């Protein structure tokens, strides 16, 4: 498919002209902070993309007089900058012109993938999802193997024909040994609260986020249709997620097609269970800091629920880090950056880990398996190691 303007709304084309070059986004961007090149600067990408469109005679305000198609090497360089990004939205958060930068990054990736100039290792992830229905390229029949490693699992292995609540586990928590303890903890929390829930096992397919972040949103259609069919089959009224990227994808892509089904992040669901008296946290004498995952906080607007859960545990003290909530740092693991440039993702993660340590807390708590995994790796590399916990693990500790 050739590149065309259907990837951009009229508003987005106008937004390319709205940048005032104030430079606020440059100060906020953690990948630009490391790479320092014009093409990794958020404002630099807008400027360059505007020039590309102008050269192609596309867009609404671009004169055909200056038409000059971009050279292949120029497009490759530009693509490198667009994909050296975690889709964290720190740039959008500070932009005084209120440009929807995240929307533009997604549209630019769609445009670049249409042209075939996206980073080629994203094709490996794409092929894995198409072939196996998960991003880690593992047989999907083993999607629920984390249940086999649990000391006490029910005979049905949490896979029930019908249930009020569907727990959508996500690829990373299902397959990555470093974080399989998160779904293991969450199903125990749900059991203790007496929730009527099920998981899908091998019938759960990737939510489509890695394809969307790669600029291959159209390929996610089949996954979305399948997962929706599974929700209907189970008859669930609520779908819950540990992974904020899955949660955000379901809200944006699935909810318009099934508005009657409620979508909740695990922090919201746990907060509700506590309010309803179905979970009663016991004392945990500990100081923790909370890391706001980008796809939960800035990209989905969920800040309160995780803090309510932490506040509900007697003895637990929350020490906010210097940069928190809307200004929280990024763990480095978002936006497919780990696939595109693992070294850059690790650098961003380590810097954010040290920033969280400035809170002086004994442990880092977050609400995202990917953040947990990134920070656990950073802790291993650091000379100051603290425990990194997902909120579900923390709440399990307090109710056990």
Contacts of 134 (CB under 8 A, 6+ apart): 128, 140, 143, 171, 174, 175, 205, 206
Query: Considering beta carbons, is residue 3 or 19 the nearer one to ligand SF4?
Result: 19
Q: What gap in Å lies between CA 272 and CA 266, rounded to an integer?
A: 10
Q: What gap in Å lies between CA 336 and CA 112, rounded to an integer?
A: 15
Considering only residues 22, 60, 131, 225, which one is a binding residue for ligand SF4 as defined by CB under 6 A? Answer: 22
Shortest Å, Cβ 94 to ligand SF4: 6
Considering only residues 6, 10, 20, 139, which one is a binding residue for ligand SF4 as defined by CB under 6 A? Answer: 20
88 binding ligand SF4? (CB under 6 A): yes
Cβ 356 vs Cβ 324: under 8 Å: no
90 binding ligand SF4? (CB under 6 A): yes
364 binding ligand SF4? (CB under 6 A): no
Report the Cα–Cα distance between both ends of the chain, in Å, rounded.
Answer: 55
Options 40-48, 129-137, 212-220, 389-397: segment touching ligand SF4 (CB under 6 A): 40-48
Options 38-46, 72-80, 303-311, 360-368: segment touching ligand SF4 (CB under 6 A): 38-46
194 binding ligand SF4? (CB under 6 A): no
Shortest Å, Cβ 370 to ligand SF4: 15
Shortest Å, Cβ 81 to ligand SF4: 9
Options 29-37, 149-157, 196-204, 375-383: segment touching ligand SF4 (CB under 6 A): 29-37
Query: Considering beta carbons, is residue 41 or 179 the nearer one to ligand SF4?
Result: 41
Options 25-33, 63-71, 122-130, 134-142: segment touching ligand SF4 (CB under 6 A): 25-33
86 binding ligand SF4? (CB under 6 A): yes
Q: What gap in Å lies between CA 352 and CA 354, rounded to an integer?
A: 5
Q: What gap in Å lies between CA 320 and CA 324, rounded to an integer?
A: 7
Shortest Å, Cβ 122 to ligand SF4: 16
Q: What are phi and psi of 74, to 5 degrees?
A: -65, -40
* Angle value at C-alpha 217, between 202 and 213, nearest 5 degrees: 85
Helices (H), the chain: 10-15, 24-28, 30-35, 42-56, 72-83, 90-94, 101-115, 122-132, 145-148, 171-175, 181-192, 209-214, 221-234, 244-249, 266-275, 304-311, 337-340, 342-357, 369-381, 391-399
Contacts of 138 (CB under 8 A, 6+ apart): 132, 175
79 binding ligand SF4? (CB under 6 A): no
89 binding ligand SF4? (CB under 6 A): yes
Options 80-88, 160-168, 195-203, 216-224: segment touching ligand SF4 (CB under 6 A): 80-88
Shortest Å, Cβ 394 to ligand SF4: 27
Contacts of 71 (CB under 8 A, 6+ apart): none
Residue found by looking up tokens 């944006």 in the block: 252
35 binding ligand SF4? (CB under 6 A): no
The residues binding ligand SF4 (CB under 6 A) are 19-25, 28-32, 42-43, 46, 85-91, 94-95, 97, 99, 101, 105
């Amino acid at each position: 498919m050739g590149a065309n303007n259907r990837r951009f709304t009229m508003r987005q084309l106008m937004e390319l002209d709205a940048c005032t070059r104030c430079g606020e986004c440059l100060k906020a961007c953690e990948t630009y902070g490391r790479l320092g090149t014009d093409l990794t600067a958020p404002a630099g990408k807008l400027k360059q993309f505007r020039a590309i469109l102008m050269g192609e005679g596309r867009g609404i305000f671009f004169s055909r007089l200056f038409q000059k198609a971009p050279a292949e090497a120029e497009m490759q360089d530009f693509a490198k900058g667009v994909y050296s990004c975690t889709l964290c939205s720190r740039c959008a958060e500070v932009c005084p012109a209120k440009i929807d930068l995240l929307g533009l990054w997604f549209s630019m990736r769609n445009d670049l993938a249409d042209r075939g100039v996206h980073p080629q290792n994203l094709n490996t992830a794409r092929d894995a999802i198409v072939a196996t229905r998960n991003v880690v390229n593992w047989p999907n029949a083993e999607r629920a193997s984390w249940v086999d490693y649990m000391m006490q699992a029910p005979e049905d292995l949490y896979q029930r024909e019908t249930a009020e609540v569907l727990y959508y586990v996500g690829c990373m928590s299902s397959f990555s040994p470093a974080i399989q303890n998160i779904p293991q903890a969450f199903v125990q929390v749900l059991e203790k609260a007496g929730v009527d829930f099920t998981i899908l096992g091998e019938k759960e397919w990737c939510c489509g986020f890695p394809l969307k972040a790669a600029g291959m949103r159209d390929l996610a259609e089949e996954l979305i249709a399948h997962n929706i069919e599974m929700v209907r089959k189970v008859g669930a009224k609520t779908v819950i997620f540990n992974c904020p990227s899955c949660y955000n994808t379901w809200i944006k892509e699935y909810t318009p097609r099934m508005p009657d089904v409620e979508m909740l992040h695990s922090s919201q669901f746990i907060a509700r269970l506590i309010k309803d008296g179905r979970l009663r946290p016991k004392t945990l004498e500990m100081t923790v800091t909370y890391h706001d995952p980008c796809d939960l906080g800035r990209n989905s607007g969920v800040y309160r629920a995780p803090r309510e859960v932490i506040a509900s545990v007697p003895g637990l003290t929350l020490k906010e880090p210097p940069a928190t909530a809307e200004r929280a740092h990024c763990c480095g693991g978002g936006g497919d950056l780990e696939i595109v440039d693992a070294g850059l993702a690790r650098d961003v993660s380590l810097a954010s880990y040290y920033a969280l340590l400035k809170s002086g807390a004994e442990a880092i708590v977050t609400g995202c398996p990917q953040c947990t995994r990134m920070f656990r790796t950073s802790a291993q590399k650091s000379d100051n190691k603290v425990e990194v916990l997902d909120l579900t693990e923390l709440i399990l500790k307090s109710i056990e």
